[in-house]
Amino acid sequence: MDQQILRSFIQETLYEGRRTQSKRLHTLTNTVTADIMRLIHQKSTKLHSVPIDRNQYQNFEPETGTAELYELIAGPMPLTMDWEGYLDDDDDPDGYDVDTVIRVFIEIDRNSDRLNISGGDKDPTGEVDLGFTVVVELPPDTPKSEYGKIRDQVANSVRHEIEHVTQGAASTQDLLAFNRGNKYFEFLHGPKEAETSWGKYLLKPEEIPAFVRGEAHNVKNYEQLLASIEKFLTGYLQKELITEYEKQIVADTWLDWAQKHINTKGFTARQS
Distance (Å, rounded) from C-alpha 93 to C-alpha 86?
A: 10
In a domain, 33, yes or no: yes
Based on its alpha-carbon atoms, the radius of gyration of the chain, rounded to whole angstroms, reads: 19
Distance (Å, rounded) from C-alpha 114 to C-alpha 19?
A: 37
Does 115 lie in the same domain as 31? yes
Does 62 lie in the same domain as 106? yes
The 3-state DSSP class for residue 225 equals helix
Task: Please write the tens of the pLDDT for every residue from 42-89.
Answer: 999 999 999 988 777 666 777 778 889 999 999 888 877 665 444 555
Amino acid at 232: F
Does 124 lie in the same domain as 58? yes
Last residue of a domain, one of 136, 171, 206: 171
Distance (Å, rounded) from C-alpha 236 to C-alpha 240?
A: 6
Task: Please write the tens of the pLDDT for every residue from 97-153.
Answer: 667 889 999 999 999 999 999 999 887 777 778 889 999 999 999 998 999 999 999
- Residue range of the domain that includes 224: 186-271
pLDDT value of position 12: 43
pLDDT value of position 10: 35
Contacts by 30-38, CB closer than 8 A, 24 or more apart: 30/155, 31/74, 32/72, 32/74, 32/104, 32/158, 33/151, 33/154, 33/155, 33/158, 35/72, 36/72, 36/104, 36/106, 36/134, 36/136, 36/154, 36/158, 37/147, 37/150, 37/151, 37/154
Does 119 lie in the same domain as 205? no
Identify the bridge partners of residue 49 per DSSP, sorted by sequence position: 72
**What total number of domains does the chain contain?**
2
User: What count of other Cβ atoms lies within 10 Å of the Cβ of residue 190?
Assistant: 15
In a domain, 177, yes or no: no
Distance (Å, rounded) from C-alpha 64 to C-alpha 68?
A: 10
Question: Smallest Cα–Cα separation from 204: which of 218, 194, 219, 215?
Answer: 194
Identify the bridge partners of residue 177 per DSSP, sorted by sequence position: 81
Question: Smallest Cα–Cα separation from 103: which of 66, 128, 69, 136?
Answer: 128
Does 28 lie in the same domain as 77? yes
Distance (Å, rounded) from C-alpha 136 to C-alpha 265?
A: 31
The model carries a pTM of 0.85
CB of 70 closer than 8 Å to CB of 105: yes
> Which residue has better confidence, 222 or 129?
222
In a domain, 179, yes or no: no
Does 217 lie in the same domain as 127? no
